[in-house]
Structure 1
Amino acid sequence: MTSVAPPAPRERILQAALTLLEQGGVEAVSTRAVSAAADVQPPTIYRQFGDMQGLLNAVASAGFGSYLRDKVARSGVGTRDPVEVLREGWDRHVEFGLTHPHLYTLMYGRLRPGEESPAAREAAAMLRALLGRVAEAGRLAVGVDRAAAMIHASAVGVTLTLLGAQERDRGLAERMREATLGAILTPEGGTTGNATQQQAAAHAVALIALLPGLAAPFSEAERQLLLEWLGRLT
């Protein structure tokens, strides 16, 4: 009979810290509590993670990692309408935050200006990749960077607002989602007035997204000039 090796100290520490976080928040993740729950000596924590902030960063990445893997598996990114994937991704983001409030707050609500948790950076990279597909489909009315910033600000903001509310207005997240998507996507039909300008911007954004992989007969200086001109339309 083959025996199963026990988890390594690093894995025990991560799991213990994640459990303490989910049960009692960041304040519950102390050196003493983690070392007792993981059955390790306190110096082991610092050898593995440097300091408690390093441990918290690793906990956020580990806890969010399973969500990201599930998100990719369920999204069908390569075969479905990227706008619908974007809409569903918003909903899952908010639901994750409301289901795991302490982990979400660790990722997004406890950072100093200019900081970003490793887990949040991974999520941002996935969002930008998806918005690139939306742009390539001609559906994005603003640049990928601006669209990502708008979605991030509104999705994180509404989730933290709901977490802090005494009574949650679940319709708020849906209304915020549609307002944000309405601001970054091209309109469905219509080619007059402002809609024409939005369509022109969408084509410019699409070309900006496609240009890096396009074997166009441009010099580097010409490519940069084209990007500048296209950027003026977005």
Structure 2
Amino acid sequence: MTRAVAQDRYIAQDVGLIADFDGPIADVSERYYRVYHECLDRMQDEDTPIQRLSKSEFWGLKRARVPEQEIGKRSGLNPEQARKFAKLRRQLVHSQPYLKYDQLIPGAIAALDRAQEAGIELTLMTMRRERELAEALSRFDVGRFFPDERRYCMGDDDVKTADTRDKPRLMARAMTELPQYERLWMVGDTEADAIAANSQGIQFIGVLSGIRDRPSLQAHHPYKIVNTLSDAVDVLLDTLSVNG
């Protein structure tokens, strides 16, 4: 049976999909790379021979969870400069001037369409703040998939601690507000997504289109690791057609 036929014959009931935004839907690599350059520019002086990493080199280090200070050192900064570089990066990377560099992951909208057409209820869960999320949903035209009551994010004035603590708290709240699904899945690209899903006994599918590489995701024992959200939806629809 082909996937298309299987999908036509199976309409999901009582099935939900919680999707992270950055990684599965939005490509943040250009934003991170622009901030990397900006931080190096501010750290550079006459005695600092900067050795800028290519985007692929930089993103490979980020995906492998190499610390910011180490990335700074590999770019030619001394230890003190690298410390300041890491601090500045944290201040800038999620700031408004750089969010415009985010791009839509190819195939993400089509994947959400396929899931929705199959009757899977969609929920969004992200560490973005409300204003940041609203702008991105409008710019990428994906807000139509996620009604306001299906959007879980940080409030504009919330104090962030760490994603691995904040996201499980969002997930715990969601579990008190979402319907009771027969099957519920989480698709994300980081350890925070995996920890949040595991904390509530939800099946987690990791995607490699985001900020973590395969070993980083594998450490959290996902149901499966795939390349994109589109592949994750394929896995979900195949699973439902077999078990439905």
Normalized against structure 1, the TM-score is what? 0.31
Structure 1 or 2: more strand by fraction: 2
Where relative contact order (Cα < 8 A, 6+ residues apart) is larger, the structure is: 2
Structure of higher CA gyration radius: 1
Normalized against structure 2, the TM-score is what? 0.30
Structure 1 or 2: more helix by fraction: 1
